[in-house]
């Protein structure tokens, strides 16, 4: 089994995400269970980069409701309606939402007052069905950029192997 205590801090981002991709592939080899994928990817991302909060909100009522799934960090909100907050907006749009300063996002849902910026990426299964969103919060302003977006969207393609 691969080394699971992965520290990606201080490594150039391109290389950090490549290393992360390799770990995800290796740790999840032979697995096609979305919850196992969410749990494992949350842990690797969270501890690898030292994020404030890293986890998934699952679609439990299509086009209506997200409910918290596997995550790392302090207690997260349990449910978020489509269209609400950053997570609900990304789910409704089926597109990534990158927020450089949460104070500039009307309707941002504050679960942890330390959160300054966040990125939310939609997650699709092999049938292009939206199954979840990945939510990552940072305690720094502009903690994420276009490179994170591209890399995280690529990482979320792992879930296309699930049904």
- In angstroms, give the least distance from the CB of 86 to ligand SME: 4
Shortest spacing between CB 23 and ligand SME, in angstroms: 23
Q: Which is nearer to ligand SME, 114 or 163 (CB)?
A: 114
Q: Which is nearer to ligand SME, 117 or 162 (CB)?
A: 117
Q: How many CB atoms lie within 10 A of CB 3?
A: 8
With CB atoms as reference, the residue minimizing the distance to ligand SME is 85
Question: Cα Rg for the chain, rounded, in angstroms?
Answer: 15
List all residues 6 or more positions away from 135 whose beta carbon is below 8 Å from its beta carbon. 53, 54, 55, 56, 57, 86, 87, 118, 119, 120
**Cβ proximity to ligand SME, 4 vs 142, nearer residue:** 142
Task: State the residues that interact with ligand SME by CB under 6 A.
Answer: 53, 76-77, 80, 85-87, 108-109, 111, 115, 118, 135, 137
In order, the DSSP letters of 16-33 are HHHHHHHHHHHHTTT---
Closest distance of CB 13 from ligand SME, Å: 22
Q: Give dist(CA 59, CA 99) in Å, integer.
A: 21
Report the nearest approach of ligand SME to the CB of residue 119 (Å): 10
Q: Looking at beta carbons only, is 23 or 108 nearer to ligand SME?
A: 108
**Cβ neighbours of residue 17 under 8 Å, at least 6 residues apart?**
151, 154, 155
Cα three-residue angle 56-62-67, rounded to 5 degrees: 35
Give the shortest CB-69-to-ligand SME separation in angstroms. Answer: 11
């Amino acid at each position: 089994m691969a080394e699971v205590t992965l520290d990606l801090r201080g490594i150039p981002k391109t290389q950090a995400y490549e290393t992360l991709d390799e770990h995800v592939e290796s740790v999840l080899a032979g697995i096609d269970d979305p919850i196992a994928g969410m749990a494992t990817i949350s842990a690797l991302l969270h501890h690898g980069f030292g994020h404030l909060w890293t986890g998934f909100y699952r679609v439990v009522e299509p086009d209506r409701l997200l409910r918290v799934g596997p995550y790392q960090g302090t207690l997260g909100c349990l449910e978020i309606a489509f269209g609400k907050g950053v997570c609900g907006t990304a789910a409704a749009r089926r597109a990534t939402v990158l927020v450089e300063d949460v104070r500039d996002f009307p309707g941002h849902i504050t679960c942890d007052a330390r959160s300054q910026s966040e990125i939310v990426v939609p997650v699709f299964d092999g049938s292009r069905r939206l199954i979840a969103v990945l939510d990552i919060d940072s305690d720094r302003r502009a903690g994420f950029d276009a490179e994170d977006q591209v890399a995280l969207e690529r990482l979320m393609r792992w879930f296309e192997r699930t049904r």
